[in-house]
Structure 1
Amino acid sequence: MSDVRRFLGQNSLSLFFGALFLAALVGQSFAGWAAFNDTQAADGLVPVGWPEYVTSSSFAADVAENWQSEYLQFLLYIWATVWFVQRGSPESKEPSQVGRESDHAQEVGAAAGPGSPRWAAVGGLRRTLFSHSLLIVMGAVFVLSWFAQSVAGTVAHDEEQLASLEAPVSWGGYVTGADFWNRTLQNWQSEFLAVGSMVVLSVYLRERGSPESKPVGARDDDTGAEG
């Protein structure tokens, strides 16, 4: 197998979703551009070009709004699965493993193996940071995308206000207003529903060969098993 084929085969899952992401983002840009120009025409304003739209605050707010809700979903899911369990779900640990688990179970410190990441074997701040690195990065991306949404949303909102000959609002006024939280909570509730549904449905339903599912013949109360 050539190096390229080996790379594609070993990274096919991330490449697949990366391609889907780019395709969806491009599709959103063209659909959003058409919808934006429909609104412009209805308001008697001049249509804008695609490059102008994809660099606009309106497009940036829509994109960041979705990103922050997705990263919030994973941020909470990563944290919640440390402390909460769901009997029978492959998305859950066994009830006896609730919490951060022992150094031996986590293969850190003296229990680290020869192939373990270097920071797993050391102590102090480096091990602490590495032990929570996934949560830290997910949280940072959530905060940054939430902030980007709030800033771009403020600009887009003020542009609409000025077009309607109404007074613009400050960033603080926008993020405490109904428009911002209406858009934000629409995304959050759908993410929480999707994750909760996955946790519960995976107790009783199967997908053969998927690590997100239990083996087809596993008992319904078999917790943490992967297919």
Structure 2
Amino acid sequence: MNAVPTSGKGTSPGRRRARLFVRHNSLGLFFLLTFLLALVGQAVAGHAEFNNQLVSEGMAPISLGAYLTTSDFAVDVTENWQSEYLQFFLYIFATVYLLQRGSPESKELGKAGTESDEDQMVGEHATGDSPRWAAATDWRAAVYSRSLGLVMGTIFLLSWLAQSVTGVAAYNEQQLRQLQAPVSWTDYLSSADFWSRTLQNWQSELLAVASMAILAIYLRQRGSPESKPVGASHSATGVEG
């Protein structure tokens, strides 16, 4: 009688490594996949809306491929990206110094500030598996210790710049279709269209962060690192479940 293979036997090493990779990176992979699905959905819906607008103005509709190269699609994408990265940039730097009593999104009440080298395991306090730049004692340590916020801030500025460039192009296309004069990039930066697109995204992102920091004081999600343990006190700060 042939023996029944046990779990894991008969699976190639490559497939096992692939499964392990997916399991260990499932959070990032999940959000990357849902991002792509949402982007595709936005492209399809935006294409339909754009063509409806063209038809209403007596112009011929365009293909989905052509729509993906338009400034209308680009500005819709970049205006959302810049607000998301602004949220993370502000959150990363604000939580260094600002506290929220009872929130797992805050550090403990006595740890405001950049903390000691020993707490942060930098320089002579670095361990054998610490990042190489964390063990440095020159400019590399200073840069690496702020690298997350710097990168988030840089992406925010670049995506905001991209929004302004694609936004003025989209705005001027609409102006020309309405037989009105186009505007310069500098004029567009002070226009209601630019700031309406910008602020409508900023306010929603900042509200979401404030809601998370405050609601997590009193509400729980069992097993989530974004929540305190279910039985933790409402006043427990900087504790994650």
Determine if the TM-score, normalized by the shorter chain, exceeds 0.5.
yes
Task: Report the alpha carbon displacement of residue 89 of structure 1 after superposing the two structures with TM.
Answer: 0.2
Q: Secondary structure at the match of 1:144?
A: helix
In our comparison, the structure showing a higher alpha carbon Rg is 2
1:74-115 alpha-carbon deviations (Å, 9 max, x no partner): 000000000100000000001210000000000001110111
Could you list the per-position Cα deviations for residues 148-173 of structure 1 after superposition, in whole angstroms to 9, with x for gaps in the alignment? Answer: 00000000000000111100000011
How many angstroms apart in 2 are the aligned matches of 1:27 and 1:182? 23
Q: Which runs of 5+ in 2 are unaligned?
A: 1-7, 9-15
As a proportion of its length, which structure holds more helix? 1
Equivalence for 1:121:
135
Find the counterpart in structure 2 of residue 154 from structure 1: 168
Q: What is the aligned partner in structure 2 of residue 21 from structure 1?
A: 35
Query: How far apart are the structure 2 equivalents of 1:91 and 1:163?
Result: 48
Q: Paired residue for 2:201?
A: 187
Identity of aligned residues (%): 58
Aligned to 1:196: 210
The yes-or-no answer on 1:85 pairing with 2:85 is no
**Alignment-mate amino acid for residue 229 of structure 2:** P
Instruction: State the AA in 1 paired with 2:114.
Output: R
Query: C-alpha root-mean-square deviation of aligned residues, in Å?
Result: 0.6
Kindly report which structure 2 residues correspond to 1:50-129, keeping only aligned pairs within 5 A, or say none: 50-129=64-143
The residue type paired with residue 124 of structure 1 is D
Question: What is the distance in 2 between the residues matched to 1:210 and 1:158?
Answer: 47
Aligned length: 227
Kindly state the Cα deviation for residue 175 of structure 1 after the two structures are TM-superposed: 1.0
SS at match of 2:110: helix
Q: Which stretches of structure 1, 4 residues or more, deviate above 6 A after TM superposition?
A: none
Q: 3-state DSSP class of the match of 1:168? A: coil
Matched residue type, 1:191? E
Name the amino acid aligned to 2:121: E
Instruction: Give the match for residue 180 of structure 2.
Output: 166
| Matched AA of 1:142 | F
Q: What amino acid maps onto 1:35 in structure 2?
A: E
Counterpart residue number, 2:62? 48
The TM-score normalised by the length of structure 2 is 0.93
Within 1, Cα distance between the matches of 2:166 and 2:60?
Answer: 21
Whole-angstrom CA distance in 2 between matches of 1:146 and 1:83: 26
Alpha-carbon distance in structure 2 between the residues aligned to 1:46 and 1:129 = 52
Alpha-carbon deviations, 1:123-166, whole Å to 9, x = none?
Answer: 11100110010011101100110000000000000000011110
